[in-house]
Structure 1
Amino acid sequence: MYQDSASPYASDRLSTFPAFFKVEGKCVAVFGNGDEAFAKVRLLLNTNAGIIAYADQPEADYAGFLREHDGRGVRHVAQAFVPDVLAGASLVFAATGDGAQDRAIVDAARAARIPANAVDQPDYCDFFTPALVSRAPVAIAIGTEGAGPVLAQMIRARIDQMLSPSLGALARLAVEYRDAAEKLVPKGALRRSFWRQFFSGAVADAVAINDGASARSEANRLLNTAGNAKGYVWLVGAGPGAEDLLTLRAQRVLMEADVIVYDALVPQAVVDMGRRDAERLSVGKRKGCHSKSQDEINKLLVQLGLEGKRVVRLKSGDPLVYGRAAEEMAALREAGISYQIVPGITSAFAAAADFELPLTLRGVASSLIFTTGHDLTGDILPDWASLAVSGATVAVYMGRTVAASVATRLMNAGLAAETTVAVIENASRSDKRLLHGTLNDLPDLEFRDELTGPVMVIIGEAVAGANFERSEALALSGRVADRKKEYENG
């Protein structure tokens, strides 16, 4: 058997391949008298398998269960294991509670080329039984490869709460419409749109209240109007970079999108959270590396919408904070294409969280300013500069290359040189880097060539309340400081 033990990704791979056995009308044999066998039989009753319970002396609860279900999905055979009884079985469960006996059962099953499972003996399992959430014909199986059955049960409980009890009935109704949808609805985006509406709209609502007539009426309406599906665009905030800071709504629409249009600052791991067969289009939009102009992006979104596509426009942070969303919304409105904003966590909030930094602080800072470093490079100081002097916290986006100008102009406006400054590269990500200092130190940021990721600068009296234990000094030292002196001396 091939095993790439040298691969750096080996620990992230499964040692089992998740699959579902077809057991309808087939024999599944369970051996044992106690709780282990009882649990396997109960699990198997979620299927249409022909269950044979071999139990010569079943414990009281199990015996009562077998009497109740004898002839109703389960056949009880009051016999201990002998190899001959395996003939005709498709799956075998060894659950006697005797390790040696269970291994003997598995050995016999393997000799007969029948997949087998020995309870609590992973090395004697050709397959593992999952924690199961059943909404037949929908089934969700959670496995831990035998490492943590309790963990699997905890996950099962959470998923069970998330899924509507009517999901199985909705899936069964979908089977009735499958052939019609394949004949009447064109393959691709239109058919995906039909099924999305089927499973999440009026059809699902009617099934949930057990109104079969209304559910079929709505399904028929969907079939008759499927060819008229219109495009739709979501302007989605991907957050500062960490995948688990994506909102639940953003995750949902990523799974609905036919096309994902994303910026360079959006991590690939977030882009990969979309549907596997969705088209992915990178449009760059990073300083010094614009693969498409904003006008080209606007036209692309309109074109995709007019083609009837469901599009996620994925932007770093929040779409409405330095995300050029206004221009994209205007283009979509002009073209008559519907859209929705899905907010994201903006970088300033993620950076503050990394520093445990209060952006507002009672009695110190009651207002917050978002700006870019480029706003401070013109001839006229922005009106908000006076607010910074009076105590407002200033969050500067994209400020590394103009740090000296920012610092100089704020100090000239009256902000004290000792005002605390926090600098965060790659906020929220595992490779984040934190630096702290004063406004007087901020010009040194321009000489930090090692900072290649997006940088956020936060300035203000409230910043002094941050946790600086995991950050390094912003002021330069050593060779980098010498390079700064050479630069200043010409």
Structure 2
Amino acid sequence: MRVFRKPSDATPANVRHIAPLAKLPVFFDLAGKRAVLAGGGEAAAWKAELLSACGAHVEIHAGDAEPEMRALIARGAEPGTLTLVERAWTPADIEGAAIALCDAEDDGEAARFAQAARAAGVPVNVIDNPTFCDFQFGSIVNRSPVIVSISTDGAAPILGQAIRRRIETLLPAALGPWATAAKGYRSRLMDLMPDASRRRAFWERFADKAFAARGGETVRAELDAMAGNILAAATPHRGHVTLVGAGPGDAELLTLKAVRALQSADVILFDALVSDEVLELARREAKRMLVGKRGGKRSCRQEDINALMVKFARDGKRVVRLKSGDPMVFGRAGEEVAELDAAEIPVDVVPGVSAVFSLAAELGVSLTHRDHAHSLRLVTGHASDGGMPKDLDWRGLSDAQTTLVIYMGGRTAQSIATRMIGEGRAPETPVVIAAKIGRPDRQLSNLSLAQLASGAFAREDDGPVLIGVGEVFAMRKAMALLDGLPEAIAV
């Protein structure tokens, strides 16, 4: 008798939401306030422009300002102002400032400036000299009023810049106008929607729209339209389910849309094959539940998974059903979508990289190389009863001009190879076997179809296995790319 296990909560009760911080990230409001900057070089010019962009009135003390600084002052930097005082700074200049910066000539000047600022009670930063700093600047992603600042605590500024570039790809340029519109819409929304659940539904839809839409003059009209739709809805608190493809394991293969779904989820129901690296990208506060199904082991029933999605969505939660590979390839996404449709729960799908495409990339071969294949077929080697599927198109699969990739064929590989040879596929046809493709511990081996039929490969565990059959895989062998790979699967 098959034994099913219950979905498990993967979030320990004692998880600490905030780990130790090297520095406290804070944001200064400098609009209309005086900022003192000592120095007239290129580094000082960059900080002067940054402070003025925050609305500060920047007072620059430099006896001999360099061309970059003079050019900046000549063109100005709104919304703040820039004023050049052509002399060295004095402690009296710092009195009453909101913030003080210095591009010091040496540690002696840095120490004097820091001492004067602290005596005046003014936060101080000495550029590129953290020993004398009360605060530090990070790498900035500017989608104002949305601002992201990245700090490595001075350990690796280049790393901070690399992180900034990655974040910039996740935050569309139109995010700023949407955030600006939201700031002015809050009071109107309070009047329109006294009910907190309706306001929450509005802001959730707003967040989705801000990432997907463009900015411009239509933003306010779209906010009004969203508010009208929620006010007209009978159940504004209804949640939403997104089926997300987690890919073969490498978190860098996730789409931007998949990352955004993970970052906005309230609940994540994830399969056993989803890697820890992918889960690390999820919203930290999200409830995570393992609902994996593994061949030959205790598994969650599909009925339980469906019921969980419906329950959480009806509770108003944003649910992510996180599935290995692509959710629509050899999974049970069709049943899940049908269940959600029947329950009138909104559902959408974010595609993922299926294992077959990761295999092709790993091997460096074209699965549809025009000299070797005119078709690509993906089949499952595992029927619902655990045996070999009985209704496959064996004649088509055995076509010499077809590249065949078999999912979940570890236990039926020998039977499949025997049947293909019987249908006319050449015994010397190249075969590649891949286990855990797309992961650091992936394994690869090559052999012939005859060897596969003779029982040279047999896999009894439940790890994910792909079997590729076709002439295109001879190219992999010819290039000798198997040399130097991690330990191959035993054959």
Q: TM-score, normalised on structure 1? A: 0.79
The aligned counterpart of 1:421 is: 431
Q: Does 1:411 align with 2:425?
A: no
Aligned-residue CA RMSD (Å): 3.8
Q: Does 1:265 align with 2:265?
A: no
Give the secondary-structure state (helix, strand or coil) at the position aligned to 1:322.
coil
Alignment of 1:323-362 (within 5 A): 323-362=331-370
Q: Does 1:289 align with 2:300?
A: no
The aligned counterpart of 1:47 is: 54
Alignment of 1:429-448 (within 5 A): 429-442=439-452, 443-446=455-458
Quick one: which amino acid aligns to residue 187 of structure 2?
A: E
Instruction: Identify which range, 406-415 or 37-46, moves more after superposition.
Output: 406-415
Instruction: Summarize the Cα distance change of 1:417–1:377 in structure 2 as closer, same or farther, 3 Å threshold.
Output: farther
Alignment of 1:82-481 (within 5 A): 82-98=90-106, 100-109=108-117, 114-143=122-151, 145-146=153-154, 147-148=156-157, 152=161, 155=164, 159=168, 162-164=172-174, 166-177=177-188, 183-186=194-197, 191-201=199-209, 208-209=216-217, 214=221, 217-218=224-225, 220-221=227-228, 224-225=231-232, 228-374=236-382, 377-378=387-388, 382-442=392-452, 443-446=455-458, 453-466=463-476, 467-471=481-485, 476=491
Give the secondary-structure state (helix, strand or coil) at the position aligned to 1:364.
coil
Give the secondary-structure state (helix, strand or coil) at the position aligned to 1:445.
coil
Separation (CA, whole Å) in 2 of partners of 1:65 and 1:328 = 59
Instruction: Identify which range, 396-405 or 173-182, moves more after superposition.
Output: 173-182
Separation (CA, whole Å) in 2 of partners of 1:236 and 1:158 = 20
Instruction: Identify which range, 81-90 or 458-467, moves more after superposition.
Output: 81-90
Give the secondary-structure state (helix, strand or coil) at the position aligned to 2:339.
helix
% of aligned pairs identical? 35
Give aligned pairs, total: 459
Which structure 1 residue ranges, 5 or more long, are not aligned?
A: 1-11, 477-490
Instruction: Summarize the Cα distance change of 1:211–1:279 in structure 2 as closer, same or farther, 3 Å threshold.
Output: closer
Quick one: which amino acid aligns to residue 280 of structure 1?
A: R
| Aligned partners of 2:310 and 2:340 also within 8 Å | yes
Residue 43 of structure 2: which of 22, 33, 36 is its match?
36
Q: Deviations over 1:94-113 (max 9, x none)?
A: 11445542343235445666
Give the secondary-structure state (helix, strand or coil) at the position aligned to 1:469.
coil
The aligned counterpart of 1:58 is: 65
Instruction: Identify which range, 192-201 or 334-343, moves more after superposition.
Output: 192-201
Which structure features the higher share of helix residues?
Answer: 1
Quick one: which amino acid aligns to residue 241 of structure 2?
A: V
Separation (CA, whole Å) in 1 of partners of 2:192 and 2:443 = 52
> 1:254: Cα distance to partner?
2.4
| Aligned partners of 1:135 and 1:167 also within 8 Å | no
> 1:22: Cα distance to partner?
4.2
Separation (CA, whole Å) in 1 of partners of 2:275 and 2:312 = 23
Instruction: Summarize the Cα distance change of 1:230–1:157 in structure 2 as closer, same or farther, 3 Å threshold.
Output: closer
Q: TM-score, normalised on structure 2? A: 0.79
> 1:318: Cα distance to partner?
1.4
Q: Deviations over 1:7-40 (max 9, x none)?
A: xxxxx99854533234456543211123332221
Residue 19 of structure 1: which of 19, 22, 26 is its match?
26
Quick one: which amino acid aligns to residue 265 of structure 1?
A: L
Q: Which has the higher contact order (CA 8 A, sep 6+)?
A: 2
| Aligned partners of 1:421 and 1:439 also within 8 Å | yes
Q: Deviations over 1:424-480 (max 9, x none)?
A: 122112222222222244333326x7x76322111122211113334466564xxxx
> 1:381: Cα distance to partner?
7.2
Separation (CA, whole Å) in 2 of partners of 1:348 and 1:49 = 55
| Aligned partners of 1:239 and 1:344 also within 8 Å | yes
Instruction: Summarize the Cα distance change of 1:457–1:107 in structure 2 as closer, same or farther, 3 Å threshold.
Output: farther
Separation (CA, whole Å) in 2 of partners of 1:215 and 1:202 = 11
Separation (CA, whole Å) in 1 of partners of 2:330 and 2:86 = 73
Instruction: Summarize the Cα distance change of 1:91–1:452 in structure 2 as closer, same or farther, 3 Å threshold.
Output: farther
Instruction: Summarize the Cα distance change of 1:434–1:416 in structure 2 as closer, same or farther, 3 Å threshold.
Output: same
> 1:350: Cα distance to partner?
0.9
Instruction: Summarize the Cα distance change of 1:110–1:398 in structure 2 as closer, same or farther, 3 Å threshold.
Output: farther
Instruction: Identify which range, 161-170 or 307-316, moves more after superposition.
Output: 161-170
The aligned counterpart of 2:13 is: none
Q: Deviations over 1:40-81 (max 9, x none)?
A: 111001224453322344346635755886996445544423
Instruction: Summarize the Cα distance change of 1:92–1:298 in structure 2 as closer, same or farther, 3 Å threshold.
Output: same
